[in-house]
Structure 1
């Protein structure tokens, strides 16, 4: 876009339709979420102001809400939660990049990790490992960068992606967890014909199932403690088989190892695995999407010799893994931390229809004013009507 065509607002964009304040869902600590009035920010140089449409809630949001921390990252000051979002541009700041084609009114998805662009990792294209990364709604860095659970926000334009006309705001919000999945698939180098195990059937796990099926994986087995999520995966034809783990308390160390062994033995005996020749020997790729210690151990046990385990889930700061057996079997254990250079492909996949009707993953929507109820339902796994919570979203405007 030529500079004369840009719709730029450099002053008083902190007032939108006469409003100067907005609602925001702010986490002050464990089980201390407050919907507060915050000023509406004006865009600075290279930024856009966005009216947030929808934000999807994920496991890290729930960890912050429940514990005031996500693994080793503890909230040190009140922080707006949420990082899976899309919205509509309401104003543009000055000094936009010459490559920027965005305009006021465009619907966009937001890549919410703001990298430094100058460290060795950014220069290598591995900006998810950026030493100066500031990620929205993450307490990894301080001061924290507020998240998307609010009505308006500002964000760098080079981290905004215009949605095609056919895309929904739900898909804009799902681009973030799908980017995580894509990054994991790239690290695993998943090939057509692979036999895949996915531990955890939350949004990331379900999207991993969908992408595995779309990628030509012949066996995709999903495991979770919630049968409703597994039933959904089967209904969507995203899993060729499922297995429900028994619920129990979270354990660690040697006790977790025993829980993992029991889970793996149970899965091997289940028809979903026992009925497929050679599958009880292990899987070509295992995606661990829970961050639960016993499941992380389970993942290593379920890997075929010479295969890969991708640790996608977070939440266990220190854990015991069966590294001895994995080394002897040449099982590669790979960490997955966020994503890099995945958003364009994620949005293209979502828009292509190859993954199926992913919008159906969203089982509940809540207004921003009811954010506390959304987190409580997510924590229980059921809403007030007894329906399973698969992917809850909070809407901040009429653009949902």
Structure 2
């Protein structure tokens, strides 16, 4: 039963699903029901990484925060101090542990925690075995494939550097890189390079630098350390972030054996921070010498090519046409004059022959023309109507006819006809 604002009592909903806007549960009832549900849960084993722990001598209870590194999920664990005393120095922030605990819900603050009765540190061997399983899994997904590797820029505009706070690795990379290439520029992100916050801080720094267009290569450097200290560089979340980076990545964690998984996904694995510095920038002195050598070879080749063309030019100048052009022109003028005379003679000869032939044709045409016939003594008779008389049968006695001669005409009269017999 609950009392509403009007002072009357109403029946509370028996289940959470039956609550309404007008008939809600009091918060205390909700927390009481959650506690009942949690209390019914059985103890269980959970694993994770210790991220917060401060030993308080004389305290009745010990508290630490357990985190799932891959999912960034955390929960407070409480236990009797004697549970942790048996672990000694192996229990500290960053340690991987397995906890046997029962979930516990505190109604006052509505918080869920674990009440542990056993805490065991996970051995390095077990952790390395887990890393090996993860390596096989990521390799099967193609994260370490050689075809995914990006080439490093020859001369990067700016270098992204992820290192520990006040770490020697920072100086190793920057001093050696600047000694090789004085114009090198750095975008530095200082992070935790071991411990429970390492993977998260490195991942955030990597994503930050990957988003800067001027940064053309990123170096993650630590400079070696114990296997346990390097475990964060094998966490799945960091390795996947490195695989997704668009900027070429250099891993300089510096552990030859039991290499962290970051080495496998990086585009280049440097054995030391100094090695990384040598890889990301060229050596100015070497490049200068190489450039001088290239310039010297180019000069030699250009001089040889110039000598070759000068020799060819000298040969051309030695030819008669270039040595004395007027002599060549005079010779050509003489040849042209002779050829002109020959052409004129052939033309005149052909013209004379054509004129002779034309005169012959003219005489022949004149001889066979009517006028020519008349000049040879013939004449033409025409009737008064103008018709040509070409037969004796066309005339009769007494007809007047016109006689046409070569030099004129006359009128004649027919006094008689004489027809030839066939």
Shorter-chain TM band: under 0.3
Structure-2-length-normalised TM-score: 0.20
- Rg (Cα) greater in structure: 2
Structure scoring higher RCO (CA < 8 A, sep ≥ 6) equals 1
Structure-1-length-normalised TM-score: 0.21
